[in-house]
Structures are given as C-alpha cells and as structure tokens.
Chains A and B, each alone.
Chain A
C-alpha cells in the first residue's frame, strides 16, 4: 500500500514535469547510446584484425620480387623480377627456422568464365603448402597436391566469392571453367574467410598449381623467365622471427650475388610484425572510442545531475508540505527513489535501443562490421542510472531530514 502510493506519486511527478523528465532521460539516452555504438565499432575493428590474422597465418614472412604484374603492366620499382623457384627451395632447405616456403606467381584481375558467367579475380599459382601457411581450408572437393604441381595439371580451387559469382549456389566441383581462355577443372572450393581489415574480400581469389601458372595461365616475365612473384614463408612456432628474417635475407642476397654495398633486389616483409602494428592501432582506436564514449557518458551524467539537483531543490518546498500534512520520511524517500529509477530505466532502455539502432546503421551504411557488447551497455546504463538515482535521491534525502517549516521556507 505504502509503496504503491509512493510509486503513484512518483509516476505522476514524472508525467507532470514533462520537460524535466525529458531532459533527464536525454542525458541518460545520449550517454548509454554513445557507449553502445562506440564499443560496437571498436569491437568490430578488433574482430576484423583477428580474422585477418587467422587468414594470414601466424609467423609468416613474405618475399616479393617487387614486380607484381597487373593487367600485363608491371608496376612498382625494382622492376626486374629477381625471385625464383630455386630461391624458395633454398630458403626452405638452408634456414632451419623455416617450416615451409611456398612459391607464388600472381595475376590480379584475371578473367574466369563459366557458361555465360564471368568474373575477374586474383589468380595465384603456388604449391599445396600455401594453403597450410595461410590457414586456408577447403570446404568442398579437394586442394591440388604435389602430383598436380609436377604434372602441371589444369585444375583450380576457387574462393567462396568466385564460386558464388560463377556458380551461384550450385557446387563448382568437377565443372570446367576457362581461366584466361584456358579450360581448367574446378577441383575444390575454399572455406569462406571474410573481410580483411582494409575491407578487401579475401574470398575473391582462385588458386592453381604454380607450374600451370608459369607455363600456361599467367606466363613468364620476359625480363627474367625464371622469376616468380614471390615466396610466402612459414617460420616454426616459437622461433625468433627477427633472426629468421635476417637469415632469410642473407640466403637470398647470397643467391642473387649481391655485394655488401648493393641494395636488396627484393622485398622481405615480416607479416607478423605488420599485423602486430595493425593490432596496436586497432587497440589504440578502441581506447580512443572508449575514451570518447566515457566522456559522453560523463557529460550525460553531469546533465542528469544538473537537472536532478535543480529540480529537487525546486521541490524542497513540496517535500516540506508533504511532511507538514503527515508524510513519513520513508514516503518521501520512496517517492523520489521510484521517480529517479523510473526516469533512469526508461532513459537507459531507450539509450540501449538507440545505440543498437546506431550500430546497425553503421554496419549497413558505413559498411563497417560491428560487434555488440551488451555487458558494456549494461555498465553504461548502470552508471547513468546510478547518477540519476543518486542526484535525484540525495537532495530529497537531505530535505527529508529538515523540519517541515525549514523545508517550506527554502527557496
């Protein structure tokens, strides 16, 4: 009965003081929704990094010729391609920390045709180890094997996006397609891997045996017929990446007959380090977003505090009157507590809803993956509600300790 009365009085006050209620809730709504959106965006960024890490494989070093051909035009400097199949073999044999060194010969934007469907994609000629190094798995059919490489088989494994573009929902396995006008059999499809951090589709790719690539599909570089695009190198888990890096560089320099004064005629990139740098920047982004979210939550909190303090001070006379006609302290406290909780709850729920809507909008219109974090939204809600309840309740609590006349006289 008593609680019901306080609740009714409180709900009435919320309804009657519309502007005050709206302003209080606005502070909570803004604070909670901004935390929800920011944390969702930050969570999305770190998730993309982790996906990319998984797709690249850990402990990976890449050796590039420096002349990746695209559309028949060679680009970049160091345009005389230098890395060869023998280099890949030598790295694998001579550097103890290296588990596997897989040669690759790429062509970006090569046309694949099936029936009257056609699609341009990145075609990579390589060895079976390539999939292992990059942590790629086959979801349908099989990958090519050593035998296919030796034979120069006309077989191809498609990425998920390519399979979808050419075959729709149908299985591509066993079908014949044309890669750069050469008929080849699809023997497998790669499992989907998703977006990279840069927003590139890692599933938009096709993999073929390196021999087939060099001799038929992509062809050799006229400047150096023995050259390939590069080598992807997997270093043993737990090995020192920096010293492996130095050793590999030394082996390649020696093989290329470079004098100490000469510059490298190849690029060597420690992908793990690159990833770590990206991870660091994602973490920094996350911290930045969290800081912005905290500030907006704080500003929201200060807003709530101001409205609550002003309105409760205004209402000390009301408290005095209620005491004068027989309200107990508990009646007053109950009323103000319920009032503050009601405002905070409605505001908090609206804030979470708005935040979820915002996150979905970011995902849809900014095309950025987001990861929702319900726990953080709850923490933000609890904080906003705590501020609202404290500053709604505390002045009322103090006023309820006054003698009724003292409260009535206040202004």
Chain B
C-alpha cells in the first residue's frame, strides 16, 4: 500500500511538472498554431539562469526566482518578436523548422556559458523526507507538486475570468474577429510566448531542484508531446490532466512492471485513447453547424 502511495506522489510530481510545460506549449499552439519544439530548452534556460543567479551572482533564492521569471518573460518576448513574428503567414513547416533551430541555438548558448557537465543545484527547497501515511516522500517533490498546482490554478482562473485571458482565447478562436474587438493580436502572441517561457522556466527550476542542472532537464520538455496529444493540443485543462495522467502512468509502470517499460506504456495508452477520441481527451471539437 505504501508503495502505491509512494508511486502516486512521485507520479503526481512528475505529472504536475509535465502539466506546467504542456500549458505553455498548448498556449502557443492555440494562439498562433505554432508547435514549439524549443519548449524543453526553455526549461533548460530557466534552470541554468536560476543556477547562475544563486551560485554565481549570489542572490538569495527568492530574488533569484524573481530574476529568472523576469528573464524568462524577456526571452519569450524576444523570441516572439525576432523569430516568430516575421514568420507569420509562412508555411507551418518552416515555422516548425525554425523552432527546432531555436532549440539548438538555446542549447548552444547555455553550454557555451555553463559548459556541458551536470552540476548539483543549490538546494533552495529543504531536502528532508516527510512521511505521509507510511510513504516516505522527499520534501522537494511535495513542494514541487504544491507550487505547480498553485501555478496551474492561477493560470486556469486567468483564462476563465480575466480580460487578457479571455482575449487570448478569443484570438485563438477567430483572429480577425478578435481584431474587430480592438484586441491586439501581436500583444496576444507576445503574452502567449512569455507565459510559455515563464512556466517552462519555473518547471525547469523544479526539475533541476530534484535532479540537478544538466542537459537532461531539456529532455523533460520532449515528454510533453504525449501529454498534449493525450489532453488535446488546444486544451488548457487537457494539458493539466494529460500531464497528471502521463506522470502517474509512467511511475506506476516503472514501479510495478519495470523501468524499461515506463516510457512505452503511456504511448500505448495514448494510442488507445486517440482511437476513441481523436482530438485528445479535451481537445476542442471543431464546432460545425449549419
């Protein structure tokens, strides 16, 4: 029983982090139809900036998180303005190629500043074990779940109730109609990229806090593909629930069946679900009526 609890908590941690990364990915896709292959590298950049701020600049960790968030927003805006905006209206395949290029570029920048060897992350979350109902779980994981959950709730409220959040969803629905409301589509794109960059950077910090800073952090980014396909490429709740499902599936398979299968089973489940729900669990169904 406590093995089950243990695995569930680990699964939820991973799932919450996947959800954060998937949120940004879905946002960019919804707003601008761009599939961002550089999402994982935003995690990497976030983790290394945080690392640099704490160990090299010597900031206390609260300020370091703030600085990381500000730099991530700046990065998102720069990428949108310089890389993506000139490509508006170009074939989707060129845009995808550009995000792949961006991914290599970010990776190269990071390794030229910080090198390629992995390093331990300054422990800003106390690293003790807490036992819950017989399961022992490291505090850093628990805090990662809580932080990710808070962020996800805040963003869900933002998209449901705030003027800017509604404007972003309106733009995703019908760009020209959004323009006719006086909504600035450029601003919406900028906002989507900066939110994506900042959530990814924070996810990167949470991951690095658990596994240390190294290129592996970016690899977590690639795991969002099954998540977003499961949840539905254009669904914000889908990203969250998809993240949690994949996180749990991976740890359960790893724990009960064996490590090698942990990456495979989620894909099998994914295929089964897509056979029933081709838009993913929560993907927006194209509304067709006459």
Q: Do A and B bind each other?
A: no
Footprint of B on A, CB under 8 Å? none
Footprint of A on B, CB under 8 Å? none
